[in-house]
A and B are shown apart, each in its own frame.
Chain A
Amino acid sequence: MEGLGSLGFSIPTLIAQVVNVAILFGLLYLVAYKPIMRMLDERSRKIKESMDNTERIKEQAERAEEEASKRIEAAAKEGQEAIARAMRTGEDVRQEAQQKAKSEGEALITRARSEIQRERDEAIEQLRESFADITIEAAGKVIDRTLDKKAHRDIIDKVLKESTTLKKG
């Protein structure tokens, strides 16, 4: 103990220094470690949050980009389909118009033919009537008396009908 005393060992000073260490420990815990650890934890949490947010935003951006490219692709596909559909419709319209024009043409031709036929028939009819009249008149002049127009006309018409050269159609 005497040796320790020569080194400066003193129980009161030792107690005082232990108390000093304890006080320093308590005070530093309150004013240094606690606030700094809280701040470091807070900063770590914020950094982690920021990184998570960045990751999430990145993922969202990737998803949005993917979505956008999908939509662009779909729009392009849709556009191509629309073009194809329009072309098909155009072709249909063209064919329909062509068909319509053709059928109209054919109808026109048919109508013209039937018109011609009708006019021809009318002309023949008029010719036949005129011919019958002329014939009766001529025959009447030849025999110099008036013929029964009605009866003779019927006979002439019958002959004309039977005739192959003046046959209708």
Chain B
Amino acid sequence: MPEKKGCLGCSFPLVIGLAVFFLALLGIGIAAGPVGKSIFGDLGLPAWLSVPQPELKLPADTVFHLFGFPITNSVVAAWITIIFLVGFSYLITRRMKLVPGRLQTIFEFLVGWLYDLCVSVAGEVNGRRFFPVVATIFLFVAFNAWLALLVPGYGSITIHTAEGEIHLLRAANTDFNMPLALALTSFGFFWYFGFKALGIRFMENFLNVKVLKDGFRQLFKGKLVDGLLGIFTGFMTIVTGLLELLSVFIRVISLTFRLFGNMTAGEILIFVMLFLVTFLSVLVLPLYGLELLIGFIQAIIFGGLTLIFLTVAVQSHGEEAH
């Protein structure tokens, strides 16, 4: 067998040509970008080679008003995700077969994996109950991130409004309201499942005065040491319960800022990289890959934490102790 000469399946001249092309792009990109300007000064390169400085703006822009209600570009992006997820699900599930096709297999694998995760953490009965909540959060977070990275138009299509030129679409996860909405959904289901499973006893996790009452009872019976110990433990239980209640509210904040921070930081990183070195899109591709992975990881984290919170909610503290 004759030995093939070349590199990566291409002939050497082609590889060298491509390398020169990309190096030239890199050189021009650096020279035209802010890094080059700060080093070499103004080289008189055409103005179209320069990329305008990215404007980092955290609040989402209002695209239009619906019945007097402002609709931001992140809400439009969320609608696109909803349409995509629902449409894709409908296309697959309208003709479900016992022996699945390729798409059905992929979707069943994804849904089945989420279901197994829920069952493995919360058990058969509770896992089945929590699954729709966890799966919705996971799918929404993941597809919000992936569509924003993979579908052209996010952050590039601009429209003119009364506020000026704004982007039509913005990754929904990078708008503070979206992670907060998801966190509040998680929070709402926490209370819903908690009360559904334990009734009013669920509140004992946050305000338990039983131990304190027992302490006073002991004290009135004349058992001074037991009574004082009981009263002390009772106060500690109340303080712990209040801390627990505080932690429930803090979870909303932590869930929100974790997702918002990661997604926004990823987007800013890509913007800045593209700004610093013009024409470096090819080299930014790994960052896109990283962002896809981060989107997936954040979806798992958000969904997984919600699953754990819901599992904790349906267990009374007495059960947890066992």
Contacts and interface: CB of A to CB of B under 8 A. Distances in A.
Interface of A: 4-10, 12-14, 16-18, 20-25, 27-29, 31-33, 35-37, 39-40, 42-43, 46
B313 interface: no
Chain A contact residues, majority secondary structure: helix
Contacts of B133: 25
A24 B180 contact: no
Q: 7 smallest A-B Cβ distances: which pairs?
A: A17-B181, A8-B59, A32-B89, A35-B93, A8-B176, A13-B177, A14-B177
Given A17-B177, A20-B78, A31 B185 contact: no
Interface in B237-260: 260
B197 to A, nearest CB: 20
A42 B85 contact: no
Contacts of B107: 32, 36
Contact of A12 (B69, B96, B115): B69
B135 A8 contact: no
A16 B45 CA distance: 46
Interface string B34-61: 0000000000000000000000001110
B176 A7 contact: yes
A43 B98 contact: yes
Chief secondary structure at chain B's binding surface = helix
Contact of A18 (B111, B185, B260): B185
B306 to A, nearest CB: 12
B175 A16 contact: no
A104 B20 CA distance: 130
Nearest to B182: A21
A39 B178 contact: no
Nearest to A25: B136
Interface in B76-132: 78-79, 81-82, 85-86, 89-90, 92-93, 96, 98, 107-108, 111-112, 115, 128, 131-132
A8 B85 contact: no
Contacts of A8: 58-60, 175-177
Contacts of A43: 98
B273 interface: no
B140 interface: yes
Contacts, number: 123
B136 A21 contact: yes
Nearest to A24: B82
Contact of A28 (B59, B72, B132): B132
Contacts of B260: 7
B70 A24 contact: no
B108 A7 contact: no
Given A21-B136, A24-B140, A25-B136, A12 B185 contact: no
A63 B128 CA distance: 41
A65 B74 CA distance: 70
B139 interface: yes
Contacts of B128: 37
A25 B306 CA distance: 15
B59 A31 contact: no
6 contacts: A8-B59, A10-B59, A16-B72, A18-B185, A24-B136, A36-B112
Contacts of A36: 93, 96, 107-108, 111-112
A29 to B, nearest CB: 5
Given A28-B136, A36-B108, A20 B82 contact: yes
Given A10-B177, A13-B72, A32 B93 contact: yes
Nearest to A10: B177
A46 B115 CA distance: 19
